[in-house]
């Protein structure tokens, strides 16, 4: 290989090609997120129904449960099929390694579903445990979405992915709220613990939807603001959270129906978000392909004739500190310089924007990790872990992310609790 115009051009084209590839890859990952959203939705419903099944008398909800299982199977198949194609894309990036590790966790969690269902059917599993199994499977699926979000390289698309992820998280808290209250309505009472848990879940939803609003585009933010909460739903929610009023025997069914209506509306929003995301990706790919063709055309018109010796060009430095060649065929040198500069500046601008985004994201990730550290080592629930972090931050007058960072920094000295 020698250092000349043709080699420069080869690498410019390679840079473009990588960009196009990474956009196409992004589109695939967007599709994957859409499929995960669908599976999560169905698992949420199965969780709610299985809670009702476990609380209600013999023979009730068994058919509904079968329907929900079928829906999950239907949503799971296309996801697994796409994950299967993913495996052939063994890459050299460390992100790929993390991605596959998350996929392994998801598959592992999903592989336990049949056993879980069997035990639910046989009523061998107490409700809180059955529910936390479902929560866990969904948590692994959402972690996979987060990992997919993390590696996006287009600021716009990355923002859309973060908005979508936050929305999915919010919807999951809504799903947990539905499942817990459905069980309590069915059981006929709300314990103090259940009520506090519900209040927590409502707060969590609001926080997630606030993050969604931070990252979503104007259009989706406005759409979401216009989604009215149903007044009947709010009344049942109040009953559930305060536990002061009595309620009719069919309140459980009504709650489940109304909460499902609400969550289905969320799913519709999620689908729109996924569509916008895909449209974004496709538009960017089309633009990049267009730019690539233009670049190709520019290059062909510029290619040096074989008889020209490049060393005959003279050199000078342009106003922006770049080398430039002139002389016998100045237009080649100058245009090539322009192409090299354009590519370099564009990628740099993208990278700067992404770095800022990544910082925001990184803060959220640190908080998530510190939370799961507390969950693991102190046997806390997600809510308790979050509250612990928050109260530490408030007491020390520090930001949540600072406390999370400090906690992760000292993670090694955390004593592991002995296994029971």
Q: Does residue 53 belong to the site contacting its own copies (CB under 8 A)?
A: no
Range 293-312, binding its own copies (CB under 8 A): 310-312
Our finding on whether 11 is near its own copies (CB under 8 A) is yes
As a whole number of angstroms, the distance between CA 264 and CA 368 comes to: 27
CB neighbour list of residue 403: distance below 8 Å, 6 or more residues apart: 370, 389, 392, 393, 396
17 closest CA partner among 280, 346, 284, 288: 288
Task: Examine residue 101 and tell whether it contacts its own copies (CB under 8 A).
Answer: yes
Contact between 387 and its own copies per CB under 8 A: no
- Integer Cα distance of 131 and 51 in angstroms: 7
Q: Which residues contact 379 (CB under 8 A, 6 or more apart)?
A: 417
Q: CB of 11: closest distance to its own copies in angstroms?
A: 4
Nearest to its own copies of 303, 394 (CB atom): 303
Comparing CA positions, the residue from 316, 310, 284 lying closest to residue 158 is: 284
Q: Which of 261, 290, 314, 396 binds its own copies (CB under 8 A)?
A: 314
- Nearest approach in angstroms of CB 30 to its own copies is 14
Show the site string, 226-265: x = touches its own copies by CB under 8 A, - = not: ----------------------------------------
* Token pair 């449960």: residue: 65
Distance, in Å, from the CA atom of 340 to the CA atom of 198, rounded to the nearest integer, reads 57
Which position among 76, 272, 292, 296 is part of the footprint of its own copies (CB under 8 A)? 76
What string marks each residue from 362 to 381 as x (binds its own copies by CB under 8 A) or -?
x--xx--x--x--xx--x--
Cβ–Cβ contacts within 10 Å for residue 274, how many? 23
CB of 272 to its own copies, least distance (A): 27
Q: Which residues ranging from 320 to 359 are in contact with its own copies (CB under 8 A)?
A: 320-323, 325, 327, 336-337, 340, 343-344, 347-352, 355-356, 358-359
What character string, x for contact with its own copies (CB under 8 A) and - otherwise, covers 20-39?
-xx-xx--------------
| Residue 314 host element (H or E) | strand 313-317
Number of residues forming the site for its own copies (CB under 8 A): 109
**Backbone dihedral region for residue 197 (phi beyond 0: left; psi -120 to 50: alpha; all else: beta):** alpha
Q: Please answer whether residues 260 and 181 qualify as being in contact, where contact means their C-beta atoms are separated by less than 8 angstroms.
A: no
Query: What DSSP state is assigned to residue 191?
Result: -
Q: Is 292 in the site for its own copies (CB under 8 A)?
A: no
Q: Which of residues 140-179 bind its own copies (CB under 8 A)?
A: 153
Judge contact between 346 and 358, C-beta under 8 A.
no
Residue 287 binds to its own copies (criterion: CB under 8 A): no
Nearer to its own copies, 141 or 236 (CB): 141
CB of 253 to its own copies, least distance (A): 29
What distance in Å separates the CA atoms of residue 19 and residue 8, rounded to the nearest whole number? 17
Task: Please report how close the Cβ of residue 113 comes to its own copies at its closest, in angstroms.
Answer: 7
Nearer to its own copies, 33 or 241 (CB): 33
Q: Please report whether residue 119 would count as binding its own copies according to CB under 8 A.
A: yes
* CB 94, min distance to its own copies, A: 3
For 327, phi and psi rounded to 5 degrees? Answer: 90, -140
Place of tokens 């997630």: 208
Q: Where are the alpha helices (DSSP H) in 379-399?
A: 382-395
* Residue 410 near its own copies by CB under 8 A: no
């Amino acid at each position: 290989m020698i250092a000349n115009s043709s080699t420069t051009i080869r690498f410019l084209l390679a840079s473009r090609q990588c960009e196009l590839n990474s956009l196409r890859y992004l589109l695939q990952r967007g599709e994957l997120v859409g499929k995960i959203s669908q599976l999560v939705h169905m698992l949420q419903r199965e969780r709610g129904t299985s809670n009702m099944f476990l609380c209600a008398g013999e023979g009730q909800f068994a058919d509904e449960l079968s329907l929900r299982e079928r829906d999950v199977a239907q949503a799971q198949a296309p996801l697994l099929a796409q994950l299967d194609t993913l495996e052939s894309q063994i890459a050299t990036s460390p992100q790929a390694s993390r991605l596959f590790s998350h996929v392994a966790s998801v598959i592992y969690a999903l592989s336990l579903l049949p056993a879980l269902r069997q035990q639910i059917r046989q009523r061998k599993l107490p409700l809180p445990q059955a529910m936390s199994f479902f929560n866990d499977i969904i948590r692994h699926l959402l972690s996979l979405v987060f990992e997919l979000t993390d590696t996006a390289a287009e600021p716009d698309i990355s923002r859309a992915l973060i908005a979508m992820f936050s929305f999915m998280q919010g919807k999951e808290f809504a799903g947990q709220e539905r499942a817990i209250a459905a069980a309590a309505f069915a059981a006929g009472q709300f314990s103090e613990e259940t009520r506090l848990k519900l209040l927590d879940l409502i707060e969590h939803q609001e926080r997630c939807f606030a993050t969604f609003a931070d990252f979503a585009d104007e259009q989706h933010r406005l759409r979401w603001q216009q989604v009215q909460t149903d007044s009947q739903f709010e009344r049942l929610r109040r009953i559930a959270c305060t536990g002061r009023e009595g309620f009719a025997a069919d309140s459980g069914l009504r709650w489940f129906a109304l909460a499902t209506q609400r969550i289905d509306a969320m799913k519709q929003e999620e689908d729109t978000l996924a569509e916008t995301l895909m449209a974004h990706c496709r538009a960017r790919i089309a633009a990049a392909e267009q730019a690539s063709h233009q670049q190709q055309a520019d290059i062909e018109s510029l290619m040096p004739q074989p008889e020209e010796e490049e060393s005959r060009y003279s050199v000078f430095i342009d106003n922006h500190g770049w080398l430039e060649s002139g002389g016998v065929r100045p237009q080649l040198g100058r245009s090539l310089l322009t192409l090299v500069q354009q590519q370099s500046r564009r990628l740099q601008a993208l990278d700067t924007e992404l770095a800022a985004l990544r910082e925001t994201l990184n803060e959220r990730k640190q908080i998530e990790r510190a939370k799961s550290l507390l969950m693991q080592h102190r046997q806390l629930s997600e809510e308790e872990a979050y509250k612990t972090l928050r109260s530490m931050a408030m007491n020390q007058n520090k930001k949540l992310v600072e406390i999370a960072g400090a906690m992760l920094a000292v993670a090694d000295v955390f004593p592991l609790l002995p296994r029971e």
